[in-house]
Amino acid sequence: MPGSGRDERAWVRGAQAGSASDLEALFRAYWPRAFRAAYLVAHDAAAAEDIAQEAFLAAIRALDRFDRRRPFGPWLHRIVVNRAIDWSRARTLRAELELHDVPVEQPDRSDADRLAAAIAELPEEQRAVIVLRHLLEYTPGEIADLLELPRGTVNSRLRRGLDALKGEL
């Protein structure tokens, strides 16, 4: 779980000064949700690893320019979610020549698995706002800022996405 705002600022300050332990604290606090958010949008564990890892590498490259008064989480999550959306779009557009396993309905799947499968069926834009709202717990206004969308668009995507998931919830 992410630490308090004070912890986070201290970790960022320490990481900027070269402290490996502060960097590790920051990584351990933010990796789980960044990775999970990328997975829920991209629905591919390897891609999620790459996306979340690239987001952290981007954070390190920009570490010296990072304004410590701003929270780290939204900045990282913006990168993760936008890259996951881009990845999902690219996969949709790609003509995949390889043969893939055909998913088979499994009668003993858990509720969580069914929810994951249902989210995977949503368009990537709806997946992204569902993840930002209900996993990362941003308000619709904050999501609108993160994704640079009108707030009404965020609300309508949320509504449509939740309607589609209603059966699994």
Partner 1 sequence: MRRALERIEIPGEHEARERAWAVVQAAHAGREPQPRSRTLVRPLLVACALAAAVAAALSPPGRAVIEDVREVIGVESAEPALFSLPTEGRVLSVSPGTAWIVHGDGSSRLLGPYRGAAWSPFGRFVVGTTRLQLATLEPDGDKRWSLARRDVRRATWGGTRTDTRIAYLAGTQLHVVGGDGRGDTALIDAPSLPRSPLAWQPGRADRLAYVVDDVLRVVSTRARGEEAWSVDVPGPLVSLEWSDDGSRLLALSRRQLAVFVPGRAVSRTTLPRGTVGVAAAFEPGSRRIATVIYSPRLDRSDLRLGARVRFSGSGRFTGLAWSPDAEWLLVPWRDADQWVFVSTDGSRRIRAVSRVSAQFDGFPRVEGWIADEEE
Q: Is 124:114 a contact under the CB 8 Å cutoff?
A: no
Q: How far is the CB of 107 from partner 1 (least distance, A)?
A: 17
Residues in contact with 8: Cβ distance below 8 Å, sequence separation at least 6, in sequence order:
2, 26, 29, 71, 72, 73
Q: How far is the CB of 85 from partner 1 (least distance, A)?
A: 17
- Interface with partner 1 by CB under 8 A: which residues? 15-18, 20, 23-24, 27, 31-32, 35-36, 39-40, 45-46, 48-50, 52-54, 56-57, 60-61, 63-64, 110-113, 115-116, 131, 134-135, 137, 169
Q: How far is the CB of 61 from partner 1 (least distance, A)?
A: 8
- Copy the structure tokens of residue 85: 């959306």
Of 69 and 148, which CB lies nearer to partner 1 in the complex structure?
69
How wide is the angle at C-alpha 137 spanned by C-alphas 76 and 93, nearest 5°? 60
